[in-house]
Amino acid sequence: MIRIIIIFIFLVSNFTAFCQEKNDKIFQKTYLTIIFNNGSSSTGGDILKKWNQDINILYEGDSCQYLKEVIDNVIAKTSSSIGNLKIRVVTTKADANYIISVNDSTTSSTTTKYHENWTSGSGNIYKCFLTINRVKTFNKNEQKAFLKTYFLKSLGNFSFSNVKTPINSSMYDMFNEITDFDLKVLSFHYSNNIKAGMTEKDVEKAFKSRGNN
Q: What is the pLDDT of residue 16?
A: 39
pLDDT bucket at 56, cuts 50 / 70 / 90: very high
Find the mean pLDDT for residues 141-160.
95
Which of 141, 146, 75, 139 has the alpha carbon at shortest distance from 114?
Answer: 146
Q: Hey, what amino acid is at 113?
A: K
Q: Hey, what amino acid is at 198?
A: M
Please, what are the domains in the chain? 43-212 (3.40.390.10)
- Between 109 and 31, residue with greater pLDDT: 31
Contacts of 107 (CB under 8 A, 6+ apart): none
Q: What is the DSSP string of 124-144?
A: EEEEEEEEEETTTSSSHHHHH
Confidence check: pLDDT of 85 > 50:
yes
Per-residue model confidence as pLDDT tens digits over 59-72: 987 767 888 999 99
Nearest-angstrom CA–CA distance, 33 and 39: 9
Instruction: Give CA 97 to chain center in angstroms.
Output: 17
Q: What is the pLDDT of residue 61?
A: 77
Q: What is the pLDDT of residue 13?
A: 46
Phi then psi for residue 182, to 5 deg, are -60, -45
Confidence check: pLDDT of 76 > 80:
yes
Find the mean pLDDT for residues 130-135.
89
What global pTM score does this model have?
0.85
Nearest-angstrom CA–CA distance, 154 and 78: 13
pLDDT bucket at 45, cuts 50 / 70 / 90: low
Confidence check: pLDDT of 174 > 90:
yes
- Between 60 and 14, residue with greater pLDDT: 60
Q: What is the pLDDT of residue 104?
A: 82
Per-residue model confidence as pLDDT tens digits over 112-124: 899 999 998 899 9
- Helix, strand, coil content of the chain in percent (nearest 5): 45, 15, 40
Confidence check: pLDDT of 8 > 70:
no
pLDDT bucket at 170, cuts 50 / 70 / 90: very high
Identify the sign of the CA torsion 139, 140, 142, 143.
positive
